[in-house]
Amino acid sequence: MTYEEKLWIINHQAENKEIKQTKIAVDFQAKFKRPVTRQCISQILQNKVKILQTIGNDPELNVKKMKHFKKVMNTTFEADLVRLIDEKYKRMNISHEIIRLCVQETGF
């Protein structure tokens, strides 16, 4: 779960003091279009001080940093994946070429 989502849960609970955790989970699902358990909501609310300290005084800045970090990590992952696929493809083509040459030499 992103810091933006955790911050939304914390703020939603702070704005609606009497709201139940199951209702927060339903509201979260409506907003972010993905389910979350009541236990997850409970854990976030129990750790809200630590989460807020991690985010710091300017939560928008840190949310942007996390989004940038994810983007950089995804780009790095994709580059590594392309390299790995290229290596496998080259190995497969080399193996295919060796087999073809062997077949030609044996006359099959």
| Domain CATH for 42 | 1.10.10
For residue 1, name the pLDDT band (cuts at 50, 70, 90).
confident
1 with 38, same domain? yes
Residue at token pair 């497969």: 92
Q: Across all residues in the chain, what is the average pLDDT?
A: 80
The span from the CA of 92 to the CA of 97, in Å, is 9
Give burial (CB, 10 Å; 0-12/13-18/19+) of 10.
buried
User: Does the pTM of the predicted model rise above 0.85?
Assistant: no
Select the more confidently predicted residue: 15 or 63. Answer: 15
50 with 64, same domain? no
66 with 31, same domain? no
The span from the CA of 66 to the CA of 96, in Å, is 44
85 with 46, same domain? no
In 47-108, alpha helices (H): 48-55, 59-106
Give the residue numbers spanning the domain of 36. 1-55
Select the more confidently predicted residue: 72 or 88. Answer: 88
Q: What's the rounded mean pLDDT across residues 73-101?
A: 75
pLDDT of residue 87: 80
